[in-house]
Structures are given as C-alpha cells and as structure tokens.
Structure 1
Amino acid sequence: MLLELMYDKNYRPMKFRELCVLLDVSKARRYELETALNQLVDEGKIGISAHGKYGKPELFTLKGSFSSTSRGFGFVTVEEKDNDIFIAPDNTLGALPGDVVLVSVISHANGSRREEGRIVRILEHTLTSVVGTFQKNKNFGFVLPDNQRILRDFFVEKGKDMDAQNGDKVVATILDYGNEHKNPQVEVTEILGAKNEPGTDVLSIVRSYGIPEEFPQEVLDSLDSIPEEVTEAEKIGRRDMRDFHTVTIDGEDARDLDDAISLTFENGIYHLGVHIADVTHYVKEGSLLDEEAKNRGTSVYLADRVIPMLPRKLSNGICSLNAGTDRLALSCLMDIDEEGTIVNHEICETVICVDRRMTYTMVADILDGAESPEEYKDFVDDFKLMKQLSDLLRKKRSGRGAIDFDFPESKIILDEKGRPIEIKAYEHSAATRLIEDFMLLTNETIAEEYYWLELPFVYRIHETPDEEKLRTFATFLNNFGYSLHLTNHTIHPKELQKLLSRIEGSEAEGLISRILLRSMKQAKYSPENLGHFGLSAKYYCHFTSPIRRYPDLQIHRIIKEQLHGTLSKSRQEHYEHILPSVCDSSSKLERRADEAERETDKLKKAQYMRRHIGDIYEGVISGVTAYGFYVELTNTVEGLVRAANLDDDYYIYDQEHYQLVGEMTGRTFSIGQSVSVVVVDADTLTKQIEFLLYYPEEDWSKGETRHGKRKSKTHRK
C-alpha cells in the first residue's frame, strides 16, 4: 500500500507525521510504519529527502555516470557536484562501468569521509560489448572480462560462441544486461586469437577500450586529393624560413614529427622560432578526415604499436616535418631578453625546410661534450645556445612557482613477437628538457594572446586543488615537521614548489610527493581560461602537437582564420557553440588513451616479471594500504607485498601516517622506505605482481622460506 501511495501521480513528498495522518495510523502502530518505511528506503524502493520527506526515489536522486573499481565498490560522477559519490559493493544495483544512473544519497560527507549513495535505477548502458577470455563448458560458455573493473562474467548460449575455444580472446556483443541477480548475456562476434598468440594481448586492450584501429575506407579515399609533397602554389603568401637553421629533436623511434626549432642570438635577444606542422591546411573542418580525427581525439602510444589520430599519409608524410623536405608550418616567432621575458612575438604561416633530424640521445651527447659527427658540427653551437635559453626559461618558470614532479617513466623493450625483454626507467636529459621548455613557452604565449583578443579558444586548464584535500594534505605534512601556508583556504603553487625543494633528498620525499600528486586535480581542456595551477601559468593551451592531439588542430583552425581576417561574428558564434563539446570529448578521449597505455604497460611488466620469479630486487615502498604495501623497483615495475605474509609481527594500518606498524616490534613500513624483495607471482590476467620481503638468511634456491608459518592480520587504526 505504501508503494502504491507514493507512486501515485498525485502524491507529493510528505514527512512521517503527515503520512501517519494521511494513513490514519494510530500511535501504537507508528513504530511499525516507521520500520516499514526504513526497510523500503534501504531497498531503494522509497526515497527520503534531506528534510525527512518520503516519496519516489527519483524525487531525491541525482543523475550521474558510474565508474567501478576492481575491489567491488564504485563512484558516481554528478555534473553539478565537485566530488564523486561513493557506492559500496552492495549498493551498485549491478551497474556496469559507464552506466548512466540515478543515485540516492544515503550519508553526507563528513570530514575526510566521502558522500555515500545507492544506485536506485540504471537509465542507460554505455557498454555495448566486452573483451575477454572465453571459458567453454559443455552446453554454454562464459566470457571473463579483461577489464578488472567489470566484476561480472557474461553468459554465452550454445550456438552464439562462433566455435571459440577455451582460452581464446574474444569480443562479445551484449544482448541482455541482466540485473544484480542475473548474469548479462552476450554473443561472441569476433575471435581475436589464442591468449598467448603474439599481439593478441595488446589487441584485447585496444578493443576493450573501444579505440578505433583501422581508418574507414571512405576516409582513406578522401586522401587522394592531398599531394605527396608541398606544391609551389601552396607556398604563396607564406613567410619563407627555409634558409634558417632548423632542426627537429625527438625520440629515436618517432615518426610523426610535428615541431621544429630555430634559434639565433644577437644584441642581447634570443630569436626563438617554434614551427608546428600546419595540419589544418590538409584537414578541413567538417570533412570526413576531420570527423574521424575528432572521434579519435588523440594518437595512442602503446608498448608495441602506435594508433594514430591521422592516417599515416599525413602523420608520417606530408604533415611530418621530415628533414630535407619543404613543409607548411604555423610558426610562433618569439624575441626573448636575457631575463627570459618575451619582448615581442608573432604568429604566422610559414614554409620551412628542416636541416637535421636529431634525437634526444644525439643532442644530449653533444651537450655532454661528446665528439660530434661531421654532419652535425655546424649545429653544435645552436644546441649549446638552446641549452642556454632552456636553462634561463626553466629558472624563470621555477621562480614563479611551477611544480616539477619528476617521477620515472617506463621504457619497455620488446622482441619481434611482442615479448618484453627489458624494462628500464626512461631518463629525462637536457635535450628532452629544452624541447619541453620551448613548447611550454609557446603554448603560454599563444594562449595569452588569444585570451586578450577575447576570441573563442581551447585552453588547457589545471584547477586549484580542493580546499578539503589541501587541509588533509596540510595535516598529513605536520607529521613530518613540515607546514603548508594556506591563504583564504587556497594555496599558491609556489608554496608547493618550496615544499618539494625542502623535502628533496629526504626519506619522506617519495611519500610526500605522491600524496601531493594525489591531492591535485586532473588537467583537462576547456573553452574557459581557468589557468594552469601546476605550471603556475595564467594562460595555457596545447598548440604544439596537431598531428596527435585534436585540441591543437582545433585552435590552429581558429588562429588561421584570425590571421586571414575571416573570423567573423558568425564564425565566432560557431566556435562558441562547438568548443564545449570538443573540450569535453577531447578530455575523455585523452583519459581513455592514458588508461589503455597504463594497462598495456602493466601487462608487459607482468609478462616480464613472470620470467623472473624467484629473482631478488631492491625497491622503494610506493604505497601502503591495510592489506599490504606496494614496492616500486628501479626498473619502474611495481608489485604488492601482502600484509598477510609479514609473519614477524601483527601489523596495524596507521591511515593517518600511511604506514603499517608492528604491534609488538614497532617496525614500520612507510612510503619512501627502501626494501629488498623477491618475486613470487606475476598474473598476466589481473596484471598484478606479488613480492615477498627478502631476508638474506633464506635459501630461495632450495625453496626454503620463513614465510607461511603463520598469517598476520591487519586492521585500520
């Protein structure tokens, strides 16, 4: 009766007393009514407002997007809320990652505790297919998803499996989404190959994230009108800069070269030219090529392949600034004084001819004083001048408070079958830093000009951290004897930079740096200039990589229209209309690419460490949880030491200090601490690596170990 009443179209939300009067409930039976109401609220069949009024759940719910974790719980992102709503495993209603849902808030945020909710209805499923391992039974099968955040197996009826064999990697289309009590049902639509077949592993990740691989034939056919080389007619009206000493500096295996540098110095002024491939000359707005680039958003760089945003005829051909060939560019020419200040700049369409294709290694060797090959001798002074300007710009950027997180990146070397044969930390050199410094300066210069022109634009923004996260971080710092100065509940990036300088070289450096990084927001694209907190920049954009990033290509289009005088009022209104969607889409596609790259790296690291079971490594604790701690090796591989295998004591998780503490011995494990570990497991399905602490007295070659004699337990302090 209660449900019938509340779902009646004429029913309005009521408080408990009003309901009692309406239903003519005696005082003696009011407890029964209240119990029944609370049960229906717990089941999600009735909602309750913040003011205690009862009604349909939809009346008190929020619409958002669900994202899950491998541990069963999840979060709902609501557009009008700054923070996500936590969803416990029992309250997900069987939602899948990406589902659009209605969530009812069941407890509000309190201190460091998140707002918690319950999903009451799934409005829309965005997942249409799943990639995973096929498990065959006699009369049916299952697909076990590769995505560890999908916690459900997918049922396959007999006859809908394409004769897939046990262990095959497959793509399956979802036919029925099931519910919290019933498995979803799928039909196998593609067999990618056996799980151990070369390339199948990475292909599974690509398909799992829905990253388009091959270009549609109609897009490739549209390239027929694009020339192989720059024609004389295309050079007309452009500034000719082919006589300038111009170089590209990239990685050894780079093929899409979209930025080149020229630099001279006279009368106390550096004349820096940053020349960017003029991709929009060939990719016209609204064309099939443009729509495909927008749908891809970015090139994706995986361990064994590159999935380009643009077809290779453009990305490796006419748009790539290959040495010895004429190329069209959009150049930012900057005059910089000896204080590192830009005194004049100009943006113009140019034609350039790169003199030398340099790699980071070559330039780093030259800057280190190595003997230069004859073909580069005429450019040695150029590179030294670049290093001089780079140091000047870095010092100036540091002076205003730009934050420099220097965590090691991975370099994974594969054999011809895609098997990892070496993993090492990718070292940043003077050569990589100077290119970074010049690109940052260019991006800031472009963004500032177009901000003051008050024209529609795409900015790269990084917002100030949340006040609550800052307060939590400041409290955490006090444990190490450091303090953080907050002004009006916010902070200037220079304060964080000073902090990083103070902790440099200390045992707490790794811990504090990582916790600080987790406290910051994620950079994204926006039509509104909100500044870049991490760079301490008022104006910032992405201008320098239009071959591999759609936002860069988009703002090139705006800049060229402004240069040509065709950015009319109607065109400005056009951009104001489309840019919010472009920014939102590009930000999401960037995150998709980042996640696919991380998953591929984790997979290759697991495959590599699987061949090193029993090997001993030195590492540093990179994270601590109630169930153990993570250790990062010098080769950037990270694995878990389970608390259950720390058998020398009973360990308590001290959440406030991010450490495990031995109850009897007082022994602690905290982030930044050096430890020796032995590899005991590497699961290529979950991509998880497991370590045990290594004790020198143990003879691992004979399988002798003190571990496993008894299991310890942990709990939160």
Structure 2
Amino acid sequence: MAQLPSRQEILDWVSDHPDATAKRDIAKAFGIKGAARIELKRLLKELEAEGLLERRRRHYLDAEKLPPVTVIQILPPDADGDLFARPMEWQGEGPMPRILYAPLKSDPAIAAGERILARLIEVRGEDHQYQARLIRRIGTVKHRIVGIYRESRNGAEGGGRILPIDKGSDKEWQVRPGDAHGAQNGELVEAEQSGPRGRLGLPVARIVERLGDPSAPRAVSLIAIHQHGIPDDFPDAVMAEADAQKPATMKGREDLRHLPLVTIDPADARDHDDAVAAETHADGGATLWVAIADVAHYVRPGSELDREARKRGNSTYFPDRVVPMLPDILSGDLCSLHEGVDRPVIALRMRLDAQGNKTGHSFHRAMMRSAASLSYEQAQAAADGKPDAQTEAVLDSVIRPLWAAYELLKSARARRQPLELDLPERRIVLTGDGRVKSVNFRDRFDAHRLIEEFMVLANVAAAEELERLRRPLLYRVHEEPTAEKLDALREVAEASGFTLAKGQVLQTRHLNRLLEQAAGSDFDELINMTALRSMQQAYYYPENYGHFGLALRSYAHFTSPIRRYSDLIVHRALILGHKWGKDGLSDWDIENLSDTAKQISDTERRSMAAERDTTDRYLAAYLADRVGAEFSGRISGVQKFGAFIRLDETGADGLLPIREIGNEYFHYDPDAQVLLGAETGLEIGIGQRVTVRLSEAVPLTGGLMLELLELEGRALPQGSGRRGKGKGPVRKRATQARLAELKRAQKRRRVRRAR
C-alpha cells in the first residue's frame, strides 16, 4: 500500500493541478487504493475544517486560490476602459484577487453587473491575478424587487414578506429574520433575491433599501426609478469633475454670435440644447441654421462624466422630476443655450432650394449667443400675428423667416411621405405637493412641427457628413414591420371597415392611406395606436439599415447631446472627422461602438418602460376617487382572459376581465381577435365602443379594473350564468360554426378588397 502523502504534499498537488482536484484524482496521483482511501478522506476533511482546502462539488481547492472555472460578476469599466470582475464564491482570508475580463472579438457584449461562467488563467507580474475568458452567460445582476414590506405575526424578529407592486404580479417574497434592513411594516422597499429560487415555497429576498411611504405622491416616480434600476444619484467623482468645468472660450471656434439664433422649447424646459435661425432668398430657397450644444467639449472620452453618461444612456422624464444623463451644472447651465449668454456649439448650415430639397450643408465648431428663449406657445402666437413684447423684437429677423423655411420643408416632407401617425400626447398636471391635478392632452402647434422638421434634416445631414468623412457613427435604425405584425394591423383595419393593401413591398405611403381612411372616424385613435404597435422598435447600430418610419436612407441622432449619449457619439465623430480637437471619438469609443449601441438602446427601452409605468400609476391615482363611475371607451385589445379598454376621457387603459363580460362562457379566437359568447353569440372585438364602470383603481400598481355595461350602445344579453363550455354538443357545434363563419367573412372581405 502506498504511503499516505503529508498535508503539505496534498496542498502543493492541489495548487499545481487545479483542473483535477476530485478525491479520486488525488488518490490516483499518490497511488492510494483500498482502505487507505478512508484515511485520505479523513485527512482531506481535516484540511477543509482548518480552511486550508475548500470543497466544492466533490472537488478540493486551495482556499486562497480561485478554481479554473468559476462564476464571476463583471464590474463597471475602470478609468482605462478595462473590465474587471469579482468572484462570486471567494472563501479565502486574504484580499480578494483581481480578475481582468479579456473577451475575444467573437464574444457577445457583456454589461457591468452581469454574471458569467468563466475560465480563469493565473497570471503573474500584473496588477491582477487572473485573466477570465467567457464560457457562457449566466444572467444579470441579482433579481431586484420593489414592493411593500409586511412583518410576520411575530413582529420584526420573525422576518416578513414583500408584496409586489408590479401590475399583474402576485408572487410574494419571503424575508428572513435579520434581512429586513430595519424596514417598517407597510413601508416601500427595494430588495434583491438571496439564493436560488426553489420549486416549493416562496422565493427569498433580502431588503437593500427603504424607500418610505408608498402612498406619498412623490413615491410614484421613485417606484419606477428603483423598479427599473435607473441610476438617480451621481457618484462623488462625477460631481467633482462636473464642478471643475469652466465655460468654453473662443479658441478654435468660429464666431456666430451675430446670427439671430433662438431656442424654442416647452415652457417649463430647463435645458436648451438646440437653437435655430433661417434666411430666405430671392430664388425661393432658404438657408437654415441649426446650432447644437457642444457637450463633447465638457464630457471627454474616458472621463468620469463620460462613463456615467454612457451608463445612463439618456435622461428619463417623469411628471414630477427628471433623472438627467448629465449633472445639472452641465445640463442646466454650461451646456444649455440660455438667452443672451455665450455658449459653445456645433452648428450646421443647410441650403434649401425652392422645392425644399437640401442642396448642401456645412458643419462648424462655433460660439453662439441666443437672441431669445421662446416657448412653443410664444412662437406660435407670434407666427399667428399675436406677438408679445419678447417675440415682437424678433418677428422680422427670426419668426417670419423660420416659418417660410418650414413651408419649404413641409413640401419636401409631403413628397417623402414619412409615417403620419396622429397620437395626442397625454399631459399629467400635478399640484405643488405632487398630487394629480388634471389629465389632458397637449396642444400641438406648427411650432412643434417646425422644430421637428429642422431637427430631422439636421440629423440626416450629420449622417451624410460622417459617411462622406468615412468616420464611424451610430445610426438610428428603424426597420419595417414584420409580416406577423402587419397581418395583425390588417385584421384590426378590416374589423374597423378599412383596407391595407397586401402583396407589395410595404412603404410608409401605404400605411398613410390607411390612416387617411380612418381620419375623423370613430376608429381614428385605434388605427393610429395599432399602427404604432405594429412598428418595430428603433435602435442604435454602427451599420446603416435605414429609417422606415421617416422614409430616410441615412439617419443619426445629432440634436440632443444633453439628454442622449448617442448624439454625443455623433458629435465626437464630427470632431474627429473635421480635426477640430482632441475631444473627438477615442480608440476605445470606436472599438466598443457595437457595445455602446446595445447599451444605450437598452437604457432607452428601460426609460420608456419606467415612464409608461409612472403614467399608469398617476392615472390610477387620478381615477381612484371615481371608482363606481361610468366611462366611455373603445376596445383596444382582446385576449383569452378578457379585453383591454382605452378610456376616452384620459386615454388610460383598463382591463375588462372575462368574468365581467357576461354570464356565459366565451370562446377566444386569436386569429379573428374575437371573444364569442357560447350561448348568446355575443361578439367582443377590437374597435367596438363600450360603456364601462370603474370597479377598481390601484395607484400602487397602476392597474384599472372595469365592468362592461354597454356594447355598441346596447345592454348586454344575459346568458344562463353557466361558465361551462356550452350546453352539450349542439351548443358547441353552433359556436364553432359561428367562429368559422367569422373567419370566412374576414377572408371574403380581403378577397373583395384585393380586387
């Protein structure tokens, strides 16, 4: 029998052979067989008990070293842009080893916070101890929960539960004793999953932050901020860097302070990142100027400000607050184009012919001074012949030339035929203490459309300029709808009595014809909303796939660098292409352009979801006092569990559960988007007018529950009250026949309209 190895020999062997550390591997290495294995097992247990070895899944590892394959969590980039990681299972007593994540070019983008299974390579003589290679992704940072904490019956010492506030979620989470973080009963909390989810019992969470009273008015947006993981507090290093910034000088800039550039924004806007001016010509054409805040001068590549801006991706807007991409000293002061103050800009000069076509453009790094900061209402009133004291002074030099240029742009737009959706923007007005005062729809003026057209043309010019300079950029990509989404839109259109052509390459003008058919009808908003839902989500990408909705070949975001990181990247690309300074695109920016595109596309969607959830909660709070009241609306969606109703008064969406529709069983046909009563034959479909009663409004989740009172102006027929699937085979055959007839009728309508 081979002699049992010494404790040190075992430790040395485990250290030298990290890939083969099972008990049988150790026994084989030292030639240990039979009964001697029992002694080896005892020795290994002693080493484990003393903390010299760590046992993981039948393997023994050096407690002060990491295994060759392990789970790591990616940390945010450091000052050099390198990604380091921390091991998820470090048991050693010494300092935690540093791990450099070194992805291959073929590896997918990994964001900070994500966990991966990695192969570790030990290195020496570096500022890190291991280099990690991706094996596979495991997931993102631990699951986060925002909800209401409820203590157990035994009080705080007995732990408690978290009741979710997500609409449609009823899964509670258990909080073990000691993991409550001092939370009080009924308090709004943020928690994270603590351990894997088991098949049985409640998932376990640990409270990480107390958010206060859930009924407080200001808690509405706070819930969304934490629920969606939006960073709302700037680190000290970022604030220190922002506070150290000084106003830009004229060095390296053209002087455009003589131009009558003005900003036109919402009346409550705090930051102004674009200014416009125009000059008309005797040949019927015009010269347009668009000046955009030179954020790149202050936010340099690789700086603390830059890393934080990239992490946020964009500003997020709520009715009671803004979570900005940049600290206020930049977004609200040094970068903002305030009236009468010198501000650095990247300016664009564009020449239009008499038909509104852009015949040329040029970019300039310059200094401007705003002649006026106007609201949309002010500018529109001046254009309509009702100027106030401020707009009277710039009526001839600014307002009239701008509107003349807008007329040219309108003619070019009509020829291009971008998608002409008409969706009123909801406006939630709050009282001083944050409660909902009113819900209405924003007025939309030509002043809004003027600025939109100027900005669209500027964005086109930026993309074209960078293509000419052969510089990398982030395009704003919007692909055409999928065939499935188009079929769904076509079904809604036909159910509403309209047509959408089939069998041809889809263009925006085809959709515009459908929107024109619906204009002014009872189905106007429904068709516009359904058309919007059929669209693909726009995203950022380093390659150009065009912009379907705007009917443009090349498009990039250039005009809002204060609130969008994509625009800052485009500004840096222009600086690099024109050799304006050292603050252009860095090598790291270029190498990581695809990762940046995905990052900011994701943060944009995150902000949209947070803003939508907040609006739902405010609407539910506004309607909470009107439970029991009756409302008119229209069916906007049908599912097997019920129908969604859009209320006319507020535009809020509520759920009409199938149990509230009638006293009978309803069959659901997903193709026809119809619920059909098994006894009465009652049809519930998209676009129908309804009268409903509000039965429940839950501000905490944003949920609205409705009861159906009338359908198309008629009271509901009453079934027998049976919830079974009909009265035997005769009733079942009749219902199936009616569903088949609905499908045949839809098919006949499609055939007739195709002719």
Q: Please state which band the TM-score falls in when normalised by the shorter chain.
A: 0.7 to 0.9
SS of 1:176's equivalent in the other structure is coil
Cα 1:709/1:323, change in 2 over 3 Å? farther
Which of 250, 259, 266 in structure 2 is aligned with 1:235? Answer: 250
Assess if the C-alpha contact under 8 Å between 1:646 and 1:711 holds in 2: no
Assess if the C-alpha contact under 8 Å between 1:251 and 1:360 holds in 2: yes
**Residue in 2 that maps onto 1:126:** 141
Count of matched residue positions in the alignment of Structure 1 and Structure 2: 588
**Residue in 2 that maps onto 1:219:** 238
Matches within 5 A, 1:513-532: 513-532=528-547
Assess if the C-alpha contact under 8 Å between 1:660 and 1:668 holds in 2: yes
Matching residue's letter, 2:685: S
The offset of 1:250, in angstroms, is 0.7
Cα 1:356/1:153, change in 2 over 3 Å? same
Aligned counterparts of 1:708 and 1:180: Cα–Cα separation in 2: 41
The offset of 1:609, in angstroms, is 0.5
Of the structure 1 ranges 511-520 and 160-169, higher mean CA displacement relative to structure 2 is found in 511-520
2:548 maps to 1:533: yes
The offset of 1:639, in angstroms, is 1.6
**Residue in 2 that maps onto 1:61:** none
Return 5+ residue gaps in structure 1 as ranges: 1-79, 81-96, 102-120, 699-704
SS of 2:161's equivalent in the other structure is strand
Assess if the C-alpha contact under 8 Å between 2:423 and 2:529 holds in 1: no
2:225 maps to 1:206: yes
**Residue in 1 that maps onto 2:645:** 630
CA offsets 1:338-372 (integer angstroms, 9 cap, x no match): 21101121111111111111111222223344x32
The offset of 1:636, in angstroms, is 1.7
2:629 maps to 1:612: no
SS of 1:162's equivalent in the other structure is coil
Assess if the C-alpha contact under 8 Å between 1:247 and 1:262 holds in 2: yes
Matching residue's letter, 2:222: L
**Residue in 2 that maps onto 1:39:** none
CA offsets 1:7-28 (integer angstroms, 9 cap, x no match): xxxxxxxxxxxxxxxxxxxxxx
Matches within 5 A, 1:170-185: 170-185=189-204
Q: Percent identity?
A: 32
Aligned counterparts of 1:676 and 1:552: Cα–Cα separation in 2: 46
Aligned counterparts of 1:711 and 1:168: Cα–Cα separation in 2: 43
**Residue in 2 that maps onto 1:3:** none
Matching residue's letter, 1:194: D
Matches within 5 A, 1:571-650: 574-626=588-640, 627-647=642-662
Of the structure 1 ranges 437-446 and 360-369, higher mean CA displacement relative to structure 2 is found in 360-369
SS of 2:394's equivalent in the other structure is helix
Matching residue's letter, 2:294: D
Matching residue's letter, 1:482: T
**Residue in 1 that maps onto 2:213:** 194
**Residue in 1 that maps onto 2:503:** 486
The offset of 1:565, in angstroms, is 6.4
The offset of 1:686, in angstroms, is 2.9
Assess if the C-alpha contact under 8 Å between 2:356 and 2:409 holds in 1: yes
State TM-score, norm by structure 1.
0.76
Of the structure 1 ranges 441-450 and 686-695, higher mean CA displacement relative to structure 2 is found in 686-695
**Residue in 1 that maps onto 2:467:** 451
Assess if the C-alpha contact under 8 Å between 2:656 and 2:706 holds in 1: yes
CA offsets 1:23-47 (integer angstroms, 9 cap, x no match): xxxxxxxxxxxxxxxxxxxxxxxxx
**Residue in 1 that maps onto 2:701:** 686
The offset of 1:210, in angstroms, is 1.2
Return 5+ residue gaps in structure 2 as ranges: 1-105, 107-112, 118-135, 726-734, 740-755
Matches within 5 A, 1:456-467: 456-467=472-483
The offset of 1:654, in angstroms, is 4.2
Cα 1:713/1:260, change in 2 over 3 Å? farther
Assess if the C-alpha contact under 8 Å between 1:298 and 1:590 holds in 2: yes
Aligned counterparts of 1:668 and 1:195: Cα–Cα separation in 2: 40
Aligned counterparts of 1:350 and 1:214: Cα–Cα separation in 2: 32
Assess if the C-alpha contact under 8 Å between 1:509 and 1:672 holds in 2: no
2:427 maps to 1:411: yes
**Residue in 2 that maps onto 1:279:** 295
Aligned counterparts of 1:654 and 1:178: Cα–Cα separation in 2: 35
Cα 1:481/1:298, change in 2 over 3 Å? closer
2:341 maps to 1:325: yes
Aligned counterparts of 1:287 and 1:306: Cα–Cα separation in 2: 23
Cα 1:374/1:475, change in 2 over 3 Å? closer
Assess if the C-alpha contact under 8 Å between 2:342 and 2:369 holds in 1: yes
Aligned counterparts of 1:679 and 1:150: Cα–Cα separation in 2: 21
SS of 2:551's equivalent in the other structure is coil
**Residue in 2 that maps onto 1:433:** 449
Matching residue's letter, 1:688: G
**Residue in 2 that maps onto 1:115:** none
The offset of 1:456, in angstroms, is 0.7
SS of 1:235's equivalent in the other structure is coil
Cα 1:615/1:263, change in 2 over 3 Å? same
Aligned counterparts of 1:547 and 1:316: Cα–Cα separation in 2: 9
Aligned counterparts of 2:720 and 2:702: Cα–Cα separation in 1: 27
**Residue in 1 that maps onto 2:315:** 299
Assess if the C-alpha contact under 8 Å between 1:409 and 1:636 holds in 2: no
SS of 2:456's equivalent in the other structure is helix
Matching residue's letter, 1:164: A
Aligned counterparts of 1:412 and 1:475: Cα–Cα separation in 2: 33
Assess if the C-alpha contact under 8 Å between 1:348 and 1:563 holds in 2: no
2:275 maps to 1:251: no
CA offsets 1:257-301 (integer angstroms, 9 cap, x no match): 100111111222211111100001111111111111111110010
Cα 1:557/1:98, change in 2 over 3 Å? closer
Assess if the C-alpha contact under 8 Å between 1:136 and 1:142 holds in 2: yes
Assess if the C-alpha contact under 8 Å between 2:423 and 2:525 holds in 1: no
Cα 1:472/1:695, change in 2 over 3 Å? closer
**Residue in 1 that maps onto 2:358:** 342
Cα 1:685/1:402, change in 2 over 3 Å? same
Assess if the C-alpha contact under 8 Å between 1:645 and 1:712 holds in 2: no
Which of 371, 374, 377 in structure 2 is aligned with 1:358? Answer: 374
Cα 1:99/1:384, change in 2 over 3 Å? farther
The offset of 1:665, in angstroms, is 5.7
Q: Which has the larger radius of gyration?
A: 2
The offset of 1:545, in angstroms, is 0.3
The offset of 1:708, in angstroms, is 12
Of the structure 1 ranges 529-538 and 264-273, higher mean CA displacement relative to structure 2 is found in 264-273
The offset of 1:185, in angstroms, is 2.0
2:183 maps to 1:167: no
2:403 maps to 1:387: yes
Of the structure 1 ranges 395-404 and 244-253, higher mean CA displacement relative to structure 2 is found in 395-404
The offset of 1:712, in angstroms, is 6.6
**Residue in 2 that maps onto 1:309:** 325
Aligned counterparts of 2:392 and 2:529: Cα–Cα separation in 1: 43
Which of 257, 261, 276 in structure 1 is aligned with 2:276? Answer: 261
The offset of 1:324, in angstroms, is 1.1
- How big is the alpha-carbon RMSD for the aligned residues of Structure 1 and Structure 2? 3.2
The offset of 1:632, in angstroms, is 2.6
**Residue in 2 that maps onto 1:423:** 439
Matching residue's letter, 1:605: L
CA offsets 1:85-110 (integer angstroms, 9 cap, x no match): xxxxxxxxxxxx99999xxxxxxxxx
SS of 1:260's equivalent in the other structure is strand
Matching residue's letter, 1:687: G
